[in-house]
Structure 1
Amino acid sequence: MLITMLSTGTRGDTQPFIALGLELKKKGYRVRIAASKTYRDLVEGYGFEFASLRGDVNEILESGLVKESDSPLKFFTSLNFKNEDLQELMIGGQEDLHKACEGSDAIVYHPGATIGYFVAQEMGIPSILASPFPMTPTKEYPAIIFYDRMRMGKLYNKLTHTIFEKGFWKMASGGVKRYWMRAYGELPQGFSNPYPKQRTDSHPTLVSLSPTVFPVPTDWPHHVHSYGYWFIEETSDYIPPVELANFLKEGPAPLYIGFGSVGDKKNASKATNLVLSALEKTGMRAVINAGAGMEERNNTKNVLFIKGAPHEWLFPHMAAVIHHGGAGTTAAALRSGVPQIVIPFGNDQYAWGRRMYELGVASQAIPRKKLTIDNLVNAIQDTQNEQIIAKAKELGEIIRSEKGAEKSANLIDQTLKSYYGNKKRG
């Protein structure tokens, strides 16, 4: 049986699908992953079928079409939908996602790829919503983009989820609507918000998140599941470049500093100067991942610039991980069992920053716009106290033991066996 997975974002959005796919392959399923063409080598390197989506996600992020959002309202307007090139790219991307589903027996889709639900309905096959954050309404805590804001009780909490769910659907539906109308002249049957419909036997929701980070609410429906993060476990064959291996051996554990696929390249030089000045004040060594938001410089005795390395391998060697608060990077930092400093740029990153602080594994988050040499120095010093180090280690051990990808693959396997078994009997 063929399971197609639809991803629409950065490496942090795509890599969990690889982890889940590896577990499904062990059960005998064929797995196809649709993602930005940027990740072809990554996906095919693990032996999956790859369906390319037009456009380079990193180029889009660096183009200015995606704006930083430090409030819920800005989140819903963070994409410049009026840009004609982006509109055509979105429509083309929906066409690619639709084509990727051909021949599938089930579709697993990211919340940003809602076409997965409608294609599954069209084909009469199960769909599984795979979200990297809690999305199903609950009274127990606010929705992810409201999490770092004021608290006003249980009814307010549930309202924020409803607003988030509807707002996310509004953002995700535009491309689907334009593509489907262009291709078929009419909308899919029952065209409406699919997220609330993903809470049945054949259409469950999976959250690729540790229940120790955001607990499973008691008021969630039965068909919403959160077993743990989806990590790629097979990292033992990674061989680091000689320069990186030697740097790690030549002194005490360094800091990791990297801002993933976010950041304004126009301010990269200023940001790099700030980070280097803070490092000089602390006297600590660092591995800096040069990319969006950080400028590559000459290496020194205490600072090594790299172009990337698997977080699962690299982070356990660090004294602390300084990052932007993307869901994927946060998960990898938690798994490593080392302290964190979150410097959120926008969107859900503020929530992850606050939650890491609440869990006792990080210093208080520093919004990128408020980052200074002194508050970065203070945060670095905070993460090196015994209490945070011990808590990060403890939580890392729990998260590594959860086997979220394996348990999620079991749920998908059970869903498909039940669905197709009933279909045969019918």
Structure 2
Amino acid sequence: MPRILLAAAGSYGDIAPYTGLGARLLADGHHVALATHDSYAPLVRAAGLEFRPLPADPRTRRPDPTAPARPAVPAGRRDLLRRAAAFVKELGGGLADAARQGANTDLLLLSATTAPLGRNLAEAMDIPALDLPLVPGAPTGDFAPVVSGGRSLGRWGNRAAGRLSLRVIDRLYADANRELRARLGLPPATPRTVRRRAEAAGRPVLHGFSEVLVPRPADWPSGLEVVGNWWPWHAPDTQLPSALRDFLAAGPPPVFLGFGSMAGGEGERLGDLAVRALRRAKLRGVLQSGWAGLTAEPTDDVLTIDAVPHDLLFPRMAAVLHHCGAGTAAAGLRAGVPTVPVPVTADQPFWAARLASLGAATTPIPFQDLAADDAVARLADALGRAVTDPALRERAGDAARRLAAEDGSGTVAATVARLTT
């Protein structure tokens, strides 16, 4: 039985898709371990996968929800890089520990976050590794790097910015890479050198998003493939909580509002804002608490919930308002409902712009604009349009039908089968 180690790190959206992929590989007869943070151990084990712990769990660093509320301002680039460097510094040793657990590993499957370190493990263990990113990372003229805010710089500028982005990532991982290679007894090599060796090996990079949102750039080299999403696992008999089912049955389809792992500690402010916008738009709403702790007093027209599978909830919504993380953006599109994008940071403006350009979303409202005096009016107007504009729903429905024809996990499984036989 081939033994596979999946390694993924970050927030829920960075982890959950790999549980669905792991379950598919398990069904194909592989032994699959998923190395990730302790917060996700129940999710990993429920999918039937072996859990191996990784350090640097972002959930342990959430802001204090009892701290005084203040207008949210997304972290600047310098602050993001500082926090990311500290994160990957912790991650390197944990990956080495995870790889040593259990029997010998035949194949490493790596997320975008773990790949720069995991390639060193593959070298030390003399086994193949396969990169499985959830966002596009290779330079292209089609668009600027996904963390640059979504604004195109022209074809030449986009490619130049993409190459610069790779150099920034190499620098970000430099200290962790050096320490990990020393620990593994490998000769010194920079992250850029390790990355170039992986590229020269000729193995494909399989991207877990859909060409419905991001067509494969024609100027990408061969081997960089867009295969479609792999979706978070949940038990086939999973049902929505009874209180939520009762709420859905009590009136017309509501709208969903949630910010995932964003806006920690701002639940009271955002909950009040959401309720006021819903009342102004004369809509019912489901608020998902998330890391923000989003909440509102229970009423006949507003319900606050904890985490539930998006593929069960979103099809029953009139529209979805969210931060546009890669997974949530895809889940809304999969459900065939319009989106109101409120991107916060990192790659979220990119996905928000993609949804809007597809015609399946309203014009994005940057998260920092929710601190403005007209925030309630803007949210209410966007929610009203999302619910009533037939063109938005038609385009979202068309995208959902195209997504349903894809099998991202199956494509990965076929590649894995070739690498392990």
- Settle same-fold status: TM greater than 0.5: yes
SS, match of residue 304 in structure 2:
strand
Deviations 1:287-345 (A, max 9, x none): 11113224333311011111110111111111111111111111111111111111111
Gaps of at least 5 residues in structure 1 are 418-426
Distance 1:101 1:228, change over 3 A: farther
Distance 1:120 1:165, change over 3 A: same
Deviation at 1:145, TM superposition (A): 1.7
Q: In the TM superposition, what are the counterparts of 1:111-150 in structure 2 within 5 Å?
A: 111-113=112-114, 114-146=116-148, 148-149=150-151
Q: In the TM superposition, what are the counterparts of 1:78-89 in structure 2 within 5 Å?
A: 79=83, 81=85, 89=90
Gaps of at least 5 residues in structure 2 are 66-71
SS, match of residue 379 in structure 1:
helix
SS, match of residue 77 in structure 1:
helix
Indicate the residue corresponding to 1:380 in structure 2.
Answer: 383
Indicate the residue corresponding to 1:250 in structure 2.
Answer: 250
Deviation at 1:381, TM superposition (A): 1.5
Distance 1:198 1:346, change over 3 A: same
TM-score, scaled relative to structure 1: 0.88
Q: In the TM superposition, what are the counterparts of 1:153-172 in structure 2 within 5 Å?
A: 153-172=154-173
Deviation at 1:234, TM superposition (A): 5.9
TM-score, scaled relative to structure 2: 0.89
Deviation at 1:364, TM superposition (A): 0.9
Contact kept, 8 Å, 1:61 with 1:262, in 2: the verdict is: no
Farther off after superposition, 86-95 or 317-326: 86-95
Indicate the residue corresponding to 1:220 in structure 2.
Answer: 220
Cα distance in 2, alignment partners of residues 165 and 9 from structure 1:
19
Deviations 1:7-56 (A, max 9, x none): 01112111221122122223221111001100111000011111011343
Distance 1:362 1:412, change over 3 A: same
Cα distance in 2, alignment partners of residues 34 and 75 from structure 1:
27
Contact kept, 8 Å, 1:109 with 1:130, in 2: the verdict is: yes
Cα distance in 2, alignment partners of residues 56 and 370 from structure 1:
29
Distance 1:102 1:110, change over 3 A: farther
Cα distance in 1, alignment partners of residues 88 and 134 from structure 2:
25
Contact kept, 8 Å, 2:89 with 2:175, in 1: the verdict is: no
Distance 1:78 1:377, change over 3 A: farther
- AA at the equivalent of 1:14: I
Percent identity between the two aligned chains: 26
SS, match of residue 107 in structure 1:
strand
SS, match of residue 311 in structure 2:
helix
Distance 1:378 1:187, change over 3 A: farther
Indicate the residue corresponding to 1:340 in structure 2.
Answer: 339
Farther off after superposition, 171-180 or 363-372: 171-180
Does 2:412 align with 1:408? yes
Indicate the residue corresponding to 1:107 in structure 2.
Answer: 108
Deviations 1:210-257 (A, max 9, x none): 012111112222211111111247654112221011111111111111
Cα distance in 2, alignment partners of residues 314 and 87 from structure 1:
34
- AA at the equivalent of 2:318: A
Indicate the residue corresponding to 1:421 in structure 2.
Answer: none
Indicate the residue corresponding to 1:29 in structure 2.
Answer: 30
Deviation at 1:152, TM superposition (A): 3.4
Cα distance in 2, alignment partners of residues 22 and 322 from structure 1:
29
Deviations 1:111-148 (A, max 9, x none): 21122111101111111111111112222222212352
Deviation at 1:109, TM superposition (A): 0.7
Distance 1:102 1:366, change over 3 A: farther
What is the total number of aligned residue pairs between the two structures?
407
Contact kept, 8 Å, 1:118 with 1:188, in 2: the verdict is: no
SS, match of residue 324 in structure 2:
coil
SS, match of residue 131 in structure 1:
coil
- AA at the equivalent of 1:144: V
- AA at the equivalent of 1:381: G
Q: What is the RMSD of the two structures over their aligned residues, measured on CA atoms?
A: 2.5
Indicate the residue corresponding to 2:267 in structure 1.
Answer: 268
Cα distance in 1, alignment partners of residues 161 and 37 from structure 2:
30
Contact kept, 8 Å, 2:4 with 2:31, in 1: the verdict is: yes
Deviation at 1:195, TM superposition (A): 4.0
Indicate the residue corresponding to 2:398 in structure 1.
Answer: 394
